[in-house]
A and B are shown apart, each in its own frame.
Chain A
Amino acid sequence: MENIIQCEHVTHYYGDRLIYEDLNFEVQRGKILGLLGKNGTGKTTIINILNGYLKPRAGVCRLFGEEMSRLSPATKARVGLLLEGHVQHTYFNAEQIERFYSRFFPHWRRDAYHALLEKLHVAPTQKISTMSCGQRSQVALGLLFAQDPELLVLDDFSMGLDPGYRRLFVEYLKEYAAAGQKTVFLTSHIIQDMEMLIDDCIILDYGRILLHEPTRHILDHFRRYRFPSPAIGEVEGMWHAGPAGDHWEAYSFLPEEEVARRLAHAAGELTSERLSLEDAFIGLTGKY
């Protein structure tokens, strides 16, 4: 399947602080990939690098096969970009901004934009600078849908949104992606939203990719194990073992029998739990 996004050997530092070393990943056409990571792991940085707004110290990213620093206008037209905080040109009103963007895209879907605004009771003459964060997010989303790009790059799309707006955003995105083999690359701090949406998941740790797996694989196989006494030292295949009340807990992709064997516990002493994506994220990255 065609790779829409490719990042190869990306290394980046801010001053002396390492952000990534030799980062490699690909996103195939039609996939929705979520980039998860704690604050400061470089989620926005990778989006900046992808769109050519940051030159990494080494490595290259490509969108539709074009190098990020030299994206052609034709390729840019295929990429819908949502900046962190739903940043838009706030001096426009809702109608003016639609008129502005419509001139750049030949397949502009004016109706998609206005339908979304009507649903949220945003007046066409309302200035973007006077809108709430939720309304602004819908203007940004409406513009992206009207553009109808093949690839959506969304940086922290849920930032500042209440649960209702977040849910609406996710539902629209799901519908959009399912409708036409669209590719979506997104980051968010609200992992429960991602669980409903993403096919694949990259979890970033400081300086590296911790995990790049299909979301289904994580949800089906990653478990929290509780056991009565501590594991002895580091156990391979177990993540973040530590005390939790009067028990200990650890996380693993391994099946229960294998975990019992490695912990030298009887299988009966172990309890295993299926996890939400958010719990899996905590299990993989640690609480702090």
Chain B
Amino acid sequence: MIQAILYKEWIKTRRAVLLAAALLAGYVAYAAIHTGQLFRVDGAVATWANMILKDAFPLPAALRWLPLLTGVLAGIAQFVPEMTNKRLKLTLHLPMPERRVLSVMLLYGAGTLVALYAATILAAWGILARYYPAEFLAGFLWRALPWFVAGVVGYLFAAWTCVEPAWTRRASNALVATGALAACYLDAPAGGYLPMLPYLALLTGAGFCLPFYSAARFKEGAQ
């Protein structure tokens, strides 16, 4: 039964997943060109000095927002069709515990995003490893991690907002989600985010629970 749910989610979201994969792959390709250009034009010494002395980030700035964009896209692609004509009733009518159905759906979405982000990070690491030492790269990764967390949390918040049956609550959910996501975009020097990571984990956990609350409201017929 779990396989069948995963099959449904894949059929429903495959275009959005492929679009997200294309966006992230495009970003990695652009990052490769950008880094090569940086080293050719400015030279290795100036580039390294810039990274060390000015705490610059080696990749194009779009990385801040790309995971969030793909996360929200995945959430919308997965849950808007469920709410169109209230098809969620069909999903919740499946002979399987309702919480398990919703958990599988959310884990599918979050798992797909984590896989895409992991592939992006690995590909970017592979490219940057030609130019920077591993210590540098680990520092860059810690800086970028909150943005990837924002992608997963953004997905969960998008699910929460879509599944909510009342439009007024959807608007307030979107506002709360925007406020909560701001926690992933605080300006911090390299390593500055490390103490925040447990809180981001809590935020992710809360994001996973909230769609269940919206689904319970949907079942009660809240309007």
Contact = CB atoms under 8 A, between A and B. Distances in A.
Interface of A: 14, 48, 51-55, 69, 73-74, 76-77, 79, 81, 83, 85, 87-92, 96, 99-101, 103-105
B12 A52 contact: no
A74 B85 CA distance: 25
Contacts of A96: 7, 11
Interface size class of B (residues with CB under 8 A): 20 to 34
B11 to A, nearest CB: 6
Interface of B: 1, 3-4, 7-8, 11-12, 81, 85-87, 89-90, 92-97, 218-221, 223
Given A55-B221, A76-B95, A104 B87 contact: no
B93 A103 contact: no
A25 B134 CA distance: 72
Given A91-B12, A92-B11, A104 B94 contact: yes
B95 A85 contact: no
Main secondary structure of the interface of B (DSSP, over half): helix
A51 B87 contact: no
Contacts, number: 70
Contacts of A85: 85
Given A76-B93, A104-B1, A104-B96, 12 more contacts: A48-B221, A55-B219, A76-B94, A76-B95, A79-B93, A81-B89, A81-B93, A83-B90, A85-B85, A88-B87, A89-B12, A89-B81
13 contacts: A51-B89, A53-B92, A55-B219, A55-B220, A73-B95, A77-B95, A83-B86, A83-B90, A89-B8, A92-B8, A96-B11, A99-B7, A105-B95
A105 B95 CA distance: 8
